[in-house]
A and B are shown apart, each in its own frame.
Chain A
Amino acid sequence: MIQLHNITKIYPNNVTALKNISLSIEKGEFVFIIGSSGSGKSTLLKLLLKEIEPTQGEIIINDKNITHLKKKEIPFLRRKLGVVFQDFRLLPNKTVYENVAFAMQIVEATPKEIRRNVPMVLSMVGLAKKARCYPNQLSGGEQQRTALARAIINNPPILICDEPTGNLDPVTSWEIMKLLKDINDRGTTVIIATHEKDIVDKMKKRVIEIKNGTLIRDLSKGGYSDED
């Protein structure tokens, strides 16, 4: 599903963020990417989202080489990748319903499909009753659920989460993780960048650790650190 071949990324200020990274993620996997701040995991996600281009190496998503994509094609790649951020990134002047419906309007879904799918996804993430609320009327957890609903509404094969629980308390974090697991159980490939030890340890999923731009560990059913 996702293949990185010898990826190196050197920023214009000569900082080497990633050094010769190769990895492969299969369809339906649940993967944690861990590492301290500045380790290069954000760079990795940015490469997948085509926010930046690699200095060297190849990226293949869904059997398509996306290493060098035309600017016009980027939106269509992103439609295959659901994204969730630490800071939620909801549109503040749209309701929960509108925020989610928005992702469908972009792919020019019919109003009928929107009316059918949005309530379905909202009830799946447990926000059916908050559909008319604006983001500033929601708790952090509810905002992240909205972001999740928006990320999966168009059934992307891959869901990328950048510190999805970074701004949430432990209880809420677990609710979000359960949701992510539910989404994964439905067949979506889930990639989570995090540095929350607790969660990684308990989930017992594949762990990829990056340190100073190099891949130092890739374990299935791993924990946050080697001792586990």
Chain B
Amino acid sequence: MKIRTMKYFAGQGFRGIWRNRLMSLASIGTIASCLMIVGIFYCIAVNVDYMLETLEETTGITVFYTEETEEISEEKIQALEDQLNRIDHIEKIIYISPEEALNKEKEEWGEYGSLLEGLENDNPLPPSFELTLDDIRYQKEVISQLNQINGIEIRYLEEETKILIGFNNMIRIVSLVLIVILGFIGVMLMDNTIRLTVYIRKNEINIMKYIGATDWFIRWPFIIEGIIIGVIGSILPLIVIWFSYNFITELIYERNTFIQKILVFRTTGEIFNLLTPISLVIGIGIGVIGSAISIRRYLKV
């Protein structure tokens, strides 16, 4: 293909969009709104995942011996750690000595911490292990394995974990279902729009064939038109999401400093690292496939 022919195709692609501005606008709008929703749900899903990850790290399992603290030997602690090491899905094992446990309690009691003074010599708190899982969904499995170890007590947040997992799964399912439905609607609308565009140009294609245009010569301008529409249709929601994301996260951080510990957000950069290519691929994909399918019907002159 000669360069001037490519220039011609590109020029025709842009002209096609301009001369069919209403249809092009409809196509861009369809892709843009589809990708806008994909983008919004992507932002929500990524951040919910991120928040859950952060929460997962703080909702661990605590394991300790039920015997009197004095009777627990170093070897016993070491043996328990070895046993814990053998269980799958445990990511981190932190040993907390009675002294550390007491200090932690004091911290949590805050201004009443002084009430715990004097317990150092008669520490009622046992040595314990805090376990963090690689994925909170395996909690049940790990707990059942821990239950087989004798003489220990297991403390964990069962109800809270259940709610977290449920919420996590719900968000994933809802967003996936919505993206599939909206993607389907998007493709259908796009197909309709392009079909209409091609229908408007049916005569043009017919004439081109009589003049001796090859099929690819006829196809290219439409495909380039699809690419341009796809690119514009994916960039528009990206710009909107960029600004609103910055605005909303800043707003939440500013107004509600106290929930910052729970409401942690991915940075705009982190979001767009993946959202940009996803949007472009989906947008251009819908544009090109839509054009190609619709053109095929009318090339059988």
**What's the minimum C-beta distance from B71 to chain A, rounded to whole angstroms?**
90
Taken together as a complex, chains A and B put the C-alpha atoms of A93 and B8 apart, in Å, by: 16
Given contacts A51-B301, A106-B217, A89 and B4 within 8 Å (CB-CB): no
Contact (Cβ within 8 A) B203 A110: no
Which residues of the partner chain B approach A77 to less than 8 Å between Cβ atoms? 212
Contact (Cβ within 8 A) B214 A75: yes
Which residues of the partner chain B approach A91 to less than 8 Å between Cβ atoms? 203-204, 207
Taken together as a complex, chains A and B put the C-alpha atoms of A29 and B213 apart, in Å, by: 27
Q: List 23 A-B contacts (CB under 8 A).
A: A49-B210, A51-B301, A72-B214, A75-B209, A75-B212, A75-B214, A75-B217, A76-B212, A78-B210, A79-B211, A83-B210, A83-B211, A89-B203, A91-B203, A91-B204, A91-B207, A93-B19, A105-B5, A106-B208, A106-B217, A107-B212, A108-B2, A108-B5
Number of contact residues on B: which range applies? 10 to 19
List 13 extra interface pairs beyond A89-B206, A92-B203, CB under 8 A: A51-B301, A75-B215, A79-B211, A79-B212, A89-B207, A89-B210, A93-B19, A106-B208, A106-B217, A107-B212, A108-B4, A110-B4, A111-B4
B residues near A, CB below 8 A? 2, 4-5, 8, 19, 203-204, 206-215, 217, 301
A148 within 8 A of B: no
Which 4 A-B pairs rank lowest in CB-CB distance, beginning with the nearest? Answer: A79-B212, A78-B212, A75-B212, A75-B214
**What's the minimum C-beta distance from A23 to chain B, rounded to whole angstroms?**
23
Contact with B along A72-86 (1 / 0, CB 8 A): 100111110001000
A103 within 8 A of B: yes
Which residues of the partner chain A approach B203 to less than 8 Å between Cβ atoms? 89, 91-92
Which residues of the partner chain B approach A92 to less than 8 Å between Cβ atoms? 203
Taken together as a complex, chains A and B put the C-alpha atoms of A111 and B3 apart, in Å, by: 12
A residues near B, CB below 8 A? 49, 51, 72, 75-79, 83, 89-93, 102-103, 105-108, 110-111, 150
Given contacts A89-B207, A93-B19, A106 and B213 within 8 Å (CB-CB): yes
Partner of B211 from the list A72, A93, A150 (CB cut-off 8 Å) is A150
Instruction: Write the chain B residue with the least CB distance to A156.
Output: B212
Instruction: Write the chain B residue with the least CB distance to A98.
Output: B15
Which residues of the partner chain A approach B5 to less than 8 Å between Cβ atoms? 105, 108
Contact (Cβ within 8 A) B4 A106: no
Instruction: Write the chain B residue with the least CB distance to A84.
Output: B210
Which residues of the partner chain B approach A72 to less than 8 Å between Cβ atoms? 214
Taken together as a complex, chains A and B put the C-alpha atoms of A51 and B103 apart, in Å, by: 91
Taken together as a complex, chains A and B put the C-alpha atoms of A103 and B2 apart, in Å, by: 16
Which residues of the partner chain A approach B210 to less than 8 Å between Cβ atoms? 49, 78, 83, 89
Which residues of the partner chain B approach A106 to less than 8 Å between Cβ atoms? 208, 211-213, 217
Which residues of the partner chain A approach B207 to less than 8 Å between Cβ atoms? 89-91
Which residues of the partner chain A approach B214 to less than 8 Å between Cβ atoms? 72, 75
Which residues of the partner chain B approach A110 to less than 8 Å between Cβ atoms? 4
Instruction: Write the chain B residue with the least CB distance to A79.
Output: B212
Taken together as a complex, chains A and B put the C-alpha atoms of A91 and B2 apart, in Å, by: 24
Contact (Cβ within 8 A) B2 A78: no
Which residues of the partner chain A approach B217 to less than 8 Å between Cβ atoms? 75, 106
Taken together as a complex, chains A and B put the C-alpha atoms of A83 and B213 apart, in Å, by: 13
